[in-house]
């Protein structure tokens, strides 16, 4: 099957293409060179249409136990937003935490072709992959949690050398079938279980004596020396605490130049200025990102309305449970290796704090001048459900609309923010960077996020509209691996995506010590802990793609 997409206006930042009219050819799921005189099987006339690669959500909670708990906790969320069964689609439901099939349909209908779960607990990885395996159309992958991992903390307490950390990180990535390493409140989840309610960057934990900075340095160095493309993915200390900007800046400066990705940084950018002791640290974050080329961020933008916060950070979720809306919440331990907190929340534009959080996120987007180092996320569902992305894109691209919204929020928040003085509007090229090319580059997905020859034919086609929310809500066409899956904003074919993983090399002798540890402390044998390829691709739902690690220290 040879497909020609004729005369579209192409935005492909990976190749520096900024609104050029071009033809694109697709064969066997891949973008190919012009075939010359060969007959075209299907031709799509894309005159006056906008063409981009399929979008990539690099941080979205779509799999793993916490999302299932959130679904169970919020039946009202599912009742209020049903999706009827059709001859093609399964029935589903849910706005803040959609059911699995609905998650895939709605991502595809917005032009997204990949989504990555950032909090896969090693011992719960099988569940996470099975759940993501039920999400149709889009590619998937996960970052495995090690920041409060009991074995890591034991190694720190025993002053193990860096090689031991490298071997354990590489072994865990392979065993859990993941793409990267995630840290949530480093050491803080363990500290919470020993009745500590706050842990700062250089404060020893109550049981193992390891500090969060030690956790970050050892894991960031391991990821870097193993050549894993995606840097250590960090949810830092003191999420949501006024004044946490100092901790965030210390984390950036203290990582010794190692690559590090700070996630949902909006929640870590709060000062204590003003009568209410709550202020924006967005300018300081933007300046720190500019000064530290080893740092990337995603924003975790909040948008107003009902959602649910779902996090492994049970220390901070416990602190926030008093604000639950509706009044119910869950906080639990998982195998002594991590935590889980579910707290429903409604962000209000007339709340001073919520309104200033909204402004801080937008300030960060607009003040960081390099779009390749900032990524569009709401930390779904924590800041807002992923279906709000088109609204967020309009806020970034339309200053007049943004200022209209600013005029409706709590007046003291608007006055405390510099948002109204920022003139910048994102271009289509920059939107293509923060939603496609940049994410693919950061994750090491060399054949995604662009439209060059050899890339997977994940392609989204829009009709340009002055209202960018309308434009990005309903693509004309979405192709996934060369197959037309969405037409006029509706799913027309259901396919199964790829699971992206890395498998860095390690010394297999590590399993001798690990087997003994598993037998003594965990409820599962080491042999049962490791996930086989067949478990993910069975029964014919998608593929596994192993991405290369670059190897060698300090590339």
Identify the CATH number of the domain in which residue 427 sits.
3.20.20.140
Q: Edge-to-edge strands of the sheet including 338-347?
A: 305-311, 338-347, 330-334
DSSP at 265? G
Q: Give 102-134 pLDDT, tens digit per residue.
A: 999 999 999 999 999 999 999 999 999 999 999
Which pLDDT belongs to residue 202? 96
359 vs 66 pLDDT, higher one: 359
Read off the pLDDT band of 65 (50, 70, 90). confident
Q: How confident is the model at residue 49 (pLDDT cuts 50, 70, 90)?
A: very high
d(CA 482, CA 424): 35
Q: Is 45 inside any structural domain?
A: no
Name the pLDDT band for 48 (thresholds 50, 70, 90): very high
Predicted local confidence at residue 502, as pLDDT: 98
Mean pLDDT over residues 384-410, rounded?
Answer: 98
Strand partners, 261: 233, 296
SS3 per residue for 77-102:
HHHCCEECCCCCCCCEECCCCCCHHH
pLDDT of residue 337: 80
Q: Does any domain span residue 456?
A: no
> CA quadruple 361, 265, 321, 106: dihedral positive or negative?
positive
> pLDDT value at position 517?
96
- The torsion angles phi and psi of 431, rounded to 5 degrees, stand at -65, -40
Q: How far is CA 158 from the centre of its chain?
A: 33
Residue 336 or 198, more confident? 198
106 burial class (0-12, 13-18, 19+ CB within 10 angstroms)? buried
**Interval 499-516: pLDDT, tens:** 999 999 999 999 999 999
The secondary structure of the chain in percent helix, strand, coil, rounded to multiples of 5, reads: 35, 25, 40
E-strand stretches of 330-403: 330-334, 338-347, 374-375
* 555 pLDDT above the threshold of 60: no
Q: Give the pair of three-digit tokens for residue 390.
A: 């088109």
The answer to whether position 528 is within a domain reads no
Q: Is the pLDDT of residue 551 over 80?
A: no
Total residue length of the chain = 555
* pLDDT tens-digit map of 461-482: 999 999 999 999 999 999 999 9
Give the pLDDT confidence score for residue 539 in this predicted structure.
77
Residue 495 has pLDDT above 90, yes or no: yes
Average pLDDT value for the chain: 96
pLDDT of residue 554: 35
**Nearest CA to 286 among 257, 265, 259?**
265
Residue 485 domain flag: no
**3-state per-residue secondary structure call for 535-552:** HHHCCCCCEEEEECCCCC
- Whether the predicted model's global pTM rises above the 0.95 cut: yes
Does residue 525 belong to any structural domain of this protein? no
Looking at the DSSP assignment, which residues form a beta bridge with residue 31?
A: 26
Instruction: List, for residues 360-384, the tens digit of each pLDDT value.
Output: 999 999 999 999 999 999 999 999 9
9 belongs to a structural domain: no
Q: What is the mean pLDDT of residues 40-57?
A: 98
Contacts of residue 452, defined as CB under 8 A and 6 or more positions apart, other chains included, come to 12, 14, 15, 31
Model confidence band, residue 398 (pLDDT cutoffs 50, 70, 90): very high
The C-alpha atoms of residue 300 and residue 61 are separated, in whole angstroms, by: 12
- Is 494 within 8 Å of 136 (Cβ atoms)? yes
User: What's the structural domain count of the chain?
Assistant: 1
pLDDT of 553 reads: 36
**Number of Cβ atoms within 10 Å of the Cβ of 345:** 22
Segments forming the whole domain that contains residue 384 = 54-446
Domain membership flag for residue 321: yes
Query: Is pLDDT of 323 > 60?
Result: yes
Cβ-based neighbour number of residue 50 at 10 Å: 22
């Amino acid at each position: 099957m040879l497909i020609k997409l004729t005369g579209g206006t192409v935005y492909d930042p990976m190749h520096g293409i900024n609104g050029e009219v071009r033809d694109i050819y697709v064969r066997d799921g891949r973008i190919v060179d012009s075939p010359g005189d060969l007959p075209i099987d299907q031709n799509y006339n894309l005159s006056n249409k906008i063409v981009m690669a399929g979008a990539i959500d690099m941080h979205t909670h779509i799999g793993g136990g916490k999302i299932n708990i959130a679904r169970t906790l919020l039946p009202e969320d599912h009742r209020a937003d049903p999706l009827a069964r059709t001859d093609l689609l399964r029935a589903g439901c849910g706005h803040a935490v959609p059911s699995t099939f609905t998650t895939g349909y709605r991502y595809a209908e917005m032009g997204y072709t990949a989504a990555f779960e950032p909090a896969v607990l090693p011992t719960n990885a099988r569940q996470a992959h099975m759940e993501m395996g039920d999400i149709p159309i889009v590619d998937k992958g996960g970052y495995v949690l090690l920041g409060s991992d009991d074995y890591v903390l034991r190694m720190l307490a025993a002053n193990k050398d860096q090689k031991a950390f490298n071997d354990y990180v590489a072994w865990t990535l392979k065993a859990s079938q993941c793409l990267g390493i995630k840290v949530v409140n480093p050491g803080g989840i363990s500290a919470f279980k020993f009745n500590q309610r706050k842990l700062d960057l250089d404060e020893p934990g109550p049981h193992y004596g390891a500090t969060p900075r030690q956790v970050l340095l050892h894991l960031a160095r391991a990821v870097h020396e193993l050549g894993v493309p995606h840097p250590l993915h960090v949810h830092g200390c003191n999420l949501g605490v006024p004044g946490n900007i100092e901790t965030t800046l210390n984390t950036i400066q203290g990582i010794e130049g190692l690559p590090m990705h700070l996630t949902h940084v909006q929640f870590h950018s709060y000062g204590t200025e003003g009568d209410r002791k709550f202020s924006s640290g967005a300018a300081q974050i933007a300046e720190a990102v500019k000064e530290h080329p080893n740092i990337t961020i995603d924003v975790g933008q909040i948008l107003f309305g009902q959602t649910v916060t779902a996090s492994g950070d049970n220390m901070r979720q416990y602190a926030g449970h008093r604000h639950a809306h509706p009044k119910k919440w869950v906080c639990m331990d998982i195998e002594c290796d991590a935590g889980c907190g579910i707290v429903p929340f409604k962000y209000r534009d007339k709340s001073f704090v919520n309104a200033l959080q909204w402004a801080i996120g937008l300030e960060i987007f607009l003040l960081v001048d390099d779009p390749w180092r900032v990524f569009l996320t709401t930390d779904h569902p924590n800041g807002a459900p992923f279906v709000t992305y088109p609204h967020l894109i309009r806020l970034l691209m339309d200053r007049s609309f943004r200022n209209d919204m600013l005029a409706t929020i709590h007046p003291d928040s608007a006055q405390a923010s510099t948002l109204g003085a920022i003139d910048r509007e994102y271009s289509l090229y920059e939107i293509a960077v923060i939603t496609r090319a940049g994410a693919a580059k950061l994750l090491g997905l060399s054949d995604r996020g662009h439209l060059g020859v050899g890339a997977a034919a994940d392609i989204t086609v829009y009709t340009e509209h002055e209202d960018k929310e309308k434009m990005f809500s309903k693509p004309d066409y979405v192709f996934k691996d060369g197959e037309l899956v969405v037409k006029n904003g509706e799913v027309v074919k259901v396919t199964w995506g790829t699971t992206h993983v890395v498998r860095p090399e390690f010394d297999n002798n590590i399993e001798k010590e690990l087997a003994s540890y598993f037998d003594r402390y965990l409820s599962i044998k080491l042999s049962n802990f490791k996930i086989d390829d067949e478990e993910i691709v069975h029964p014919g739902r998608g593929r596994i793609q192993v991405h290369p690690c670059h190897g060698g220290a300090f590339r």
